[in-house]
Amino acid sequence: MKTMKNIDSFTHVRGESLFVDDLMLRQDTLFGLVFDSPKAHGKIKSVDYSKAEALEGVIKIFTYKDVLGENQIGGIIPDEPLWAEDEVHFWGQPIAFIVAKSEAIAKKARALITIDIEELPVITTAKEAKEKGSFINAPRSFNLGNTQNAFTECEYVFEGETFSNGQEHLYLETQGCYAVPQENGNIKITSSTQGPTAVQKTAAKVLGIPMHKIEVDVIRLGGGFGGKEDQATPWAVMAAVAVQHLNRPVKYMLNRHDDLRMTGKRHPYSSFYKIGLTKDFKIKAFEAEFLQNSGAAADLSPAIAERTLFHATNSYFVPNVNTTVYSCKTNLPPNTAFRGFGGPQGMFVIESAIADAADKIGINKRLIQEANLLAENDEFSYGQIATEVQAQNSWFSAKEQYQLEQLEHEVADFNNKNDHYKKGISLMPIAFGISFTNTPMNHARALVHIYQDGSVGVSTGAVEMGQSVNTKMLQVAQSVLGISPDKVKLETTNTTRVANTSPSAASSTADLNGKATEMACNSLVERLTEVAADMLSTKKENISFKEDAVFVNDKKSELTWEALITEAMLRRVALSENAHYATPIIHFDKTKEKGHPFAYHVYGTAITTVTVDCIRGNYEIDSVKIVHDFGKSMNMGIDLGQVEGALAQGIGWMTMEEISYNNEGRLLSNALSTYKVPDIFSAPKTVETIPLKTEGNQMAIKKSKAVGEPPLMYGIGAYFAIQQAVKAFNPNYKLKFHAPFTPEKVLMGLYEK
Is residue 293 within 8 A of residue 268, CB to CB? The reply is yes
- The item of ligand LUZ, ligand MOS, none sharing an interface with residue 41, based on CB under 5 to 8 Å by kind, is none
Residue 259 binding ligand MOS, by CB under 6 A: no
Residue 429 binding ligand MOS, by CB under 6 A: no
At 117, is the secondary structure helix, strand, or coil? Answer: strand
Residue 31 binding ligand LUZ, by CB under 6 A: no
At 227, is the secondary structure helix, strand, or coil? Answer: coil
- Cβ proximity to ligand MOS: between 32 and 344 the closer is 344
How far is the C-alpha of 631 from the C-alpha of 258, rounded, in Å? 41
- The item of ligand LUZ, ligand MOS, none sharing an interface with residue 338, based on CB under 5 to 8 Å by kind, is ligand MOS
Which of 88, 506, 607, 659 contacts ligand MOS by CB under 6 A? 506
What is the 3-class SS of 60-92, one letter each residue?
EEECHHHCCCCCCCCCCCCCCCCCCCCEECCCC
Residue 316 binding ligand MOS, by CB under 6 A: no
Using CA atoms, how far residue 261 sits from 123, 330, 678, in Å, is 17, 15, 20
How far is the C-alpha of 703 from the C-alpha of 698, rounded, in Å? 5
Task: Kindly give, in sequence order, each residue whose CB lies less than 8 Å from that of residue 26, ignoring residues fewer than 6 positions away.
Answer: 180, 249
- Cβ proximity to ligand MOS: between 336 and 611 the closer is 336
To the nearest whole angstrom, how small is the minimum distance from the Cβ of residue 301 to ligand MOS? 12
709 catalytically annotated:
yes
- The item of ligand LUZ, ligand MOS, none sharing an interface with residue 194, based on CB under 5 to 8 Å by kind, is ligand MOS
Identify which of 217, 214, 167 has the alpha carbon closest to the alpha carbon of residue 192. 217
Residue 435 binding ligand MOS, by CB under 6 A: no
At 704, is the secondary structure helix, strand, or coil? Answer: strand
Within residues 403-462, the interface with ligand LUZ by CB under 6 A covers 436-438
- The item of ligand MOS, ligand LUZ, none sharing an interface with residue 623, based on CB under 5 to 8 Å by kind, is none
DSSP 402: T
To the nearest whole angstrom, how small is the minimum distance from the Cβ of residue 438 to ligand LUZ? 6
Within residues 598-657, the interface with ligand MOS by CB under 6 A covers none
Torsion of CA 56, 58, 60, 64, to 10 degrees: -130
DSSP assignment of 624-670 equals EEEEE--BS-S-HHHHHHHHHHHHHHHHHHHHT----B-TTS-BS--
How far is the C-alpha of 41 from the C-alpha of 333, rounded, in Å? 11
User: Which strands make up the sheet holding 576-582, listed edge to edge?
Assistant: 488-490, 456-460, 443-450, 576-582
- Cβ proximity to ligand LUZ: between 229 and 639 the closer is 229
- Cβ proximity to ligand MOS: between 349 and 712 the closer is 712
How far is the C-alpha of 463 from the C-alpha of 217, rounded, in Å? 10
Q: Could you say which of 173, 464, 644, 709 is catalytic?
A: 709
Is residue 621 within 8 A of residue 606, CB to CB? The reply is no
At 591, is the secondary structure helix, strand, or coil? Answer: coil
Residue 505 binding ligand MOS, by CB under 6 A: yes
Is residue 17 within 8 A of residue 11, CB to CB? The reply is yes
The number of residues that bind ligand MOS (CB under 6 A) is: 10
- The item of ligand MOS, ligand LUZ, none sharing an interface with residue 437, based on CB under 5 to 8 Å by kind, is ligand LUZ
First to last CA, the chain: 52
Which of 83, 310, 338, 545 contacts ligand MOS by CB under 6 A? 338
Using CA atoms, how far residue 651 sits from 115, 352, 503, in Å, is 41, 16, 26
Which of 39, 188, 267, 339 contacts ligand MOS by CB under 6 A? 339
How far is the C-alpha of 720 from the C-alpha of 745, rounded, in Å? 13
User: Residues 491-510: x/- map of binding to ligand LUZ (CB under 6 A)?
Assistant: --------------xx----
How far is the C-alpha of 482 from the C-alpha of 287, rounded, in Å? 53
Residue 305 binding ligand LUZ, by CB under 6 A: no
User: Residues 453-492: x/- map of binding to ligand LUZ (CB under 6 A)?
Assistant: ----------------------------------------
Which region among 82-90, 204-212, 300-308, 491-499 touches ligand LUZ (by CB under 6 A)? 300-308
To the nearest whole angstrom, how small is the minimum distance from the Cβ of residue 336 to ligand MOS? 8
Residue 323 binding ligand MOS, by CB under 6 A: no
Which region among 146-154, 335-343, 663-671, 698-706 touches ligand MOS (by CB under 6 A)? 335-343
Residue 229 binding ligand MOS, by CB under 6 A: yes
Which region among 96-104, 133-141, 326-334, 338-346 touches ligand MOS (by CB under 6 A)? 338-346
Residue 459, CA atoms < 13 Å, CB-side half-sphere:
17
The number of residues that bind ligand LUZ (CB under 6 A) is: 12
DSSP 170: -
- The item of ligand MOS, ligand LUZ, none sharing an interface with residue 436, based on CB under 5 to 8 Å by kind, is ligand LUZ
Residue 226 binding ligand MOS, by CB under 6 A: yes
Residue 341 binding ligand LUZ, by CB under 6 A: yes
How far is the C-alpha of 147 from the C-alpha of 353, rounded, in Å? 15
Residue 292 binding ligand LUZ, by CB under 6 A: no
Instruction: List active site positions.
Output: 709
> Could you list the residues that contact ligand LUZ (CB under 6 A)?
226, 229, 300, 303, 307, 337, 341, 436-438, 505-506
> Could you list the residues that contact ligand MOS (CB under 6 A)?
194, 226, 229, 337-339, 341, 505-506, 709
